[in-house]
Amino acid sequence: MQTLSVAARRQRDFLAFCRIECGLAPLTLEAYGHDLEQLATYLQERGITDPGGAEMRDLTNHIRWLSREREYEATTVTRHLATIRVFFRWMHATGVIVRDPARLLERPTIWKRLPGAMTAKQMQTLVEFPSPAQGPLWLRDRAMLELLYGGGLRASEVCTVKVNDFSETLGALAVTGKGGKQRIVPIGVPAIDWTVRYLAECRPTLVRAGTTRDAFRLLLSFSGRPLDRVAVWQLVKKNAALAGLTDVHPHTLRHSFATHLVQGGADLRVIQELLGHSSITTTQIYTHVTRDHLKDVIANCHPREMKAMKTKNAATQPIVKRRAK
C-alpha cells in the first residue's frame, strides 16, 4: 500500500471533517480538494512538505502567485483564500498547529463585473438549433437547453433533476440547488413540450435494461449514464459554437433568463426565488438591465418626466390638428 504524504493526510482528514461534521455539498468538497492540492504543490516546490509548517509569508506568496502567475480572477483567488482560512483554522482547532498563520490574510478587492446576456433573438437561435441533423441525441440537447433557459437553472442543477422531479401537469421542476436547498421552478410551455417529447422518444432508447446506473436522472448520456456538470458545459458550448454563437456557457443562459425577466418587468424578489438566491443582494448583482430599458423606466415612471412628456404632447397637439385641416 502506498503511504500518503503528510499533506495528503491532512487534506484527507480535513475533507472528512467537512463532509461528516459540517455536511458540506460534494461540489464544495471538490473545490476545497482542488484548492488544497494546489497549495500543497506550491509549498512542496519550496521545500515545505507539511502544510502545518507554512508561515504567513508562504501563504501570502501563494495567493500572490495565483493572482499574478496563474492570472486567476479575483473571485477565484478569494475562493482559494477562503479554503486556506478554513483549512488552517481546522488545523489550529485540532492542535496540529499552535498559531494560525492564515488569520490575517486579506481578501483581494472583487469588482462587481456584470456578465453578458444574450439577446432574445440569440437565445432563440441557440435553443432551436438542435435538430435531427445533429444526431440521435438532438432531442435531449433541445430539452436541456429549454430547461436551462426556461427555468434559469445552473449546470449542476439541470444534471441532477430526476424524472419524477418534472411535472407536466404543474409545469414545474423540483430543483436542488446550492447547499441542498430545494425549490419549485415553473418552466414555460416550450420547455414542457420538449421535455415531454424527449421523455417519450429519446430517453427510453438511452436506458439500459436491468441496470440502475441512470439513477432515474432526467438527462442521460449515450451510454445511459446521467450527464454530469462538465458534460452539460460541453454540450452547451458545442451547440452554441455550431449555431454561430461565441462565449456561451450554461451560466449565460441562466443570466439571460434573469435579465429578460427584469426587462419584462418582473419583480426582483420573484427572480430571487426563481434563481434560488438566499440574498437579494446576489440577485441585484447578478441581474442587470440595458441602458435603453433604464431610460424607458425613467420616462414612463418618474413623475416629473411624465409631466414633462404630457406638457410637450399638449403643446404639439394643436399644431398637428391645424395641419390635418
> Beta strand pairing status for 182-186 and 166-167?
unpaired
What would the grid cell of residue 302 be? 418618474
Pick the catalytic residue from 62, 80, 254, 288. Answer: 254
Pick the catalytic residue from 10, 140, 260, 277. Answer: 277
Pick the catalytic residue from 10, 62, 80, 154. Answer: 154
- Clarify whether 254 is annotated catalytic: yes
CB atoms closer than 10 angstroms to residue 298:
12
Alpha-carbon distance values, 153 to 176, 241, 252 (Å): 10, 21, 10
Adjacent-strand bridge partners of 226: 220
Pick the catalytic residue from 149, 217, 286, 288. Answer: 286
Pick the catalytic residue from 178, 225, 229, 237. Answer: 178
Pick the catalytic residue from 162, 183, 251, 293. Answer: 251
- Clarify whether 154 is annotated catalytic: yes
Question: By CB neighbour count within 10 A (0-12 exposed, 13-18 middle, 19+ buried), where does 224 fall?
Answer: middle
Instruction: Report the distance separating Cα 180 and Cα 250, nearest Å.
Output: 20
DSSP string covering 209-276: TT--TTTTBSSB-TTSPBP-HHHHHHHHHHHHHHTT--S--HHHHHHHHHHHHHHTT--HHHHHHHHT
Residues belonging to the active site:
154, 178, 251, 254, 277, 286
